[in-house]
């Protein structure tokens, strides 16, 4: 790993919870150490049913600790908590999350968590039903309100053989988020108000049918989550289901007109507007009040343009606002993005080729070109969450350097 990693010289307490994903913590520990961090492993009693203390002692920066009652160090939790630059818990089980949220300190890891003023990162891993249980949802919300960074589990094959949400986030994702904490990226939008749109609009033909597109809203939602994690107050105008999270106010819409109405009045009050939604260009001029019957023959649809939301926002954009547009193309990606950059008066355009299987609609990955002024930043294939992170970090840095956000 590069010596330039922001983890170099940092002291990290790695808490290991009692879940099957505990074996992945070994790889995570070594990756952190490769980045130059000093890692102190703390294993819960339950974790020892899945992993061995010897492994962590041999591979960690110092011997693993498993007990609050250590004759050689009568207050290990205080020492660990005070010396830590960050406390990382992976896996964070439902039990650990609940005890930390309640402030219970009954063994070494939980007492260390309560005894530290360092940033805390909880990497959740558990079965799908447990992750979705109301008590876990509430505990996660409580921790986030307190400033704890919770890394959500990924979708994949679980210990029981089924597939769902619950798998420990990849080592690369966890390390990247920790690096963001140390290099200040997680506060890049602190105090800023951010508006994000996500999903494809639906333009009604009758009460049953609509004109739509293939957008899943995944990239837009990734931007909303990243902005909230970076300290912003986020408003998400969304056409797809999304359970609200701390720091994100959700406005549900369906059509282009509804989205236009949701963003047009308030847009001027935002520091950053990210128009990630795939807004339909046309809608039916007339909407049938009843279902159009197939037996009546194919209807003749007369289309009319929908409101050009991005163009409107560009026309009323205040000087202290950054406007980011999107261009989902099937060819000539950068050229079309540059046209939109000029015609819509945006500061940036995020463009991608939707014909690429791993970067189009409905997938978890993307590859984009961020077009701005007389330059462009090409972001290779990556998870949509990391794409959002990199774009927002770049945009925030650009806004600061160019005096757009001068306060």
CB atoms within 10 A of CB 374: 6
Confidence of residue 2 (pLDDT cuts 50, 70, 90): very low
Residue 74 pLDDT: 62
Give pLDDT, residue 69.
79
Determine the 3-state secondary structure of 163 from DSSP.
strand
Q: Which residues contact 234 (CB under 8 A, 6 or more apart)?
A: 194, 195, 196, 224, 227, 228, 247, 248, 249
Spatial separation of the C-alpha atoms in residues 148 and 126, rounded to whole Å: 18
DSSP state, 15? Answer: E
Query: What are the tens digits of pLDDT across the range 260-282?
Result: 999 998 888 999 999 999 999 99
Residue with tokens 């969304």: 238
Angle, helices 384-401/218-229, rounded to nearest 10 degrees: 50
Which of 30-39, 184-193, 250-259, 309-318 shows the lowest per-residue confidence on average (mean pLDDT)? 184-193
Task: Round to whole Å and give the CA distance between 373 and 24.
Answer: 43
Q: For residue 1, what pLDDT band results from cuts at 50, 70 and 90? A: very low
Name the CATH architecture for the domain at 11-183.
3-Layer(aba) Sandwich (3.40)
| CATH 3.40.50.10300 domain locations along the chain | 188-401
Q: At what angle do helices 108-115 and 94-102 cross, to 10 degrees?
A: 40
**Is residue 378 a contact partner of residue 369, using CB atoms and an 8 Å limit?**
yes
Catalytic residue, from 213, 249, 345, 353: name it.
213
Rounded mean pLDDT, 204-229 = 93
* 375-383: strand order across its sheet: 248-252, 233-238, 193-198, 272-275, 322-329, 348-353, 365-372, 375-383
Selection from 174, 245, 200, 199 nearest residue 7 by Cα: 174
How many angstroms separate the CA atoms of 88 and 67, rounded? Answer: 18
Chain center to CA of 257: 27
188-401 in CATH: which number?
A: 3.40.50.10300
Helix (H) or strand (E) holding 188: none
Prior bond to 280 cis, omega within 30? Answer: no
Name residues whose C-beta falls within 8 Å of residue 297's C-beta, 6 or more positions apart in sequence: none
Which residues, in sequence order, are CB contacts of 165 under 8 Å at separation 6+? Answer: 128, 131, 132, 152, 153, 154, 155
Q: What does the pLDDT read at residue 3? A: 53
pLDDT tens digits along 93-114: 999 999 999 999 999 999 999 9
Share of the chain above pLDDT 90, in %: 73
The full DSSP string for 350-397 is EEEETTSTTTSTTSSEEEEEEEETTEEEEEEEEEHHHHHHHHHHHHHH
Q: Residue 386: phi, psi to the nearest 5? A: -70, -35
Q: What is the mean pLDDT of residues 139-158?
A: 88
Residue intervals of the chain classified under CATH 3.40.50.1950 are 11-183
Average pLDDT over residues 396-407: 88
Enumerate the β-bridge partners of residue 235. Answer: 195, 249
Contacts of 258 (CB under 8 A, 6+ apart): 201
* Residue 219 near residue 198, CB atoms below 8 Å: yes
| Cβ atoms within 10 Å, residue 200 | 20
Contact 166, 127 (CB under 8 A): yes
Q: What is the DSSP track for 140-154? A: HHHHHHTT-EEEPPE
3-state secondary structure 199-256: CECCEECCCCCEECCCCCCHHHHHHHHHHHHCCCEEEEEECCCCCCCCCEEEEECCCH
Task: For strands 303-305 and 282-284, give the pairing.
Answer: antiparallel
Whether residue 407 is predicted with pLDDT greater than 70 in this model: the reply is no
| pLDDT band at 71; cut points 50, 70, 90 | low
Burial class (CB in 10 A: 0-12, 13-18, 19+), 84: buried
Look up 139 and say whether it is catalytic. Answer: no
% of the chain at pLDDT higher than 70: 97
């Amino acid at each position: 790993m590069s010596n330039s990693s922001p983890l170099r010289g940092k002291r990290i307490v790695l808490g290991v919870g009692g879940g099957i994903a505990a074996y992945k913590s070994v790889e995570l520990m070594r990756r952190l150490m490769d980045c130059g961090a000093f890692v102190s492993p703390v294993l819960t009693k339950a974790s020892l049913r899945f992993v061995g203390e010897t492994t962590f002692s041999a591979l960690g920066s110092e011997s693993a600790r498993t007990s609050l009652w250590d004759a050689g160090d009568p207050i290990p939790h205080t020492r660990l908590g005070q010396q830590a630059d960050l406390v990382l818990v992976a896996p964070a089980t439902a039990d650990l999350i609940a005890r930390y949220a309640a402030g219970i300190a009954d063994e070494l890891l939980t007492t260390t968590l309560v005894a530290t003023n360092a940033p805390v990162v909880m990497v959740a891993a558990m079965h799908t039903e447990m992750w979705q249980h109301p008590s876990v949802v509430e505990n996660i919300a409580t921790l986030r309100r307190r400033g704890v960074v919770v890394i959500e589990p990924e979708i994949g094959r679980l210990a029981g053989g089924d597939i769902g949400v619950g798998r420990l986030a990849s080592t690369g994702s966890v390390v990247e988020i920790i690096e963001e904490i140390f290099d200040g990226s997680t506060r890049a939008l602190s105090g800023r108000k951010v508006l994000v749109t996500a999903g494809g609009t639906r333009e009604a033909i009758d009460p049953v049918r609509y004109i739509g597109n293939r957008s899943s809203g995944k990239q837009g939602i990734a931007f909303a989550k990243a902005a909230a994690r970076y300290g912003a107050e986020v408003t998400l105008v969304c056409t797809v289901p999304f359970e609200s999270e701390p720091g994100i106010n959700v406005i549900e819409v369906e059509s282009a007109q509804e989205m236009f109405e949701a963003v047009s009045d308030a847009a001027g009050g935002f520091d950053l507007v990210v128009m990630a939604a795939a807004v339909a260009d046309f809608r039916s001029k007339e909407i049938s009040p009843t279902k159009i019957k197939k037996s009546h023959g194919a209807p003749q649809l007369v289309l009319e343009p929908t409101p050009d939301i991005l163009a409107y926002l560009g026309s009323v954009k205040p000087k202290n606002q950054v406007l980011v547009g999107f261009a989902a193309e099937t060819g000539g990606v950068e050229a079309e993005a540059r046209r939109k950059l000029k015609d819509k008066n945006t500061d940036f355009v995020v463009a991608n080729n939707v014909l690429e299987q791993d970067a189009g609609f409905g997938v978890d990955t993307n590859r984009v070109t961020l077009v701005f002024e007389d330059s462009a930043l090409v972001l290779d294939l990556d998870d949509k969450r990391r794409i959002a992170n990199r774009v927002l970090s770049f945009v925030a840095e650009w806004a600061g350097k160019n005096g757009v956000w001068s306060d």
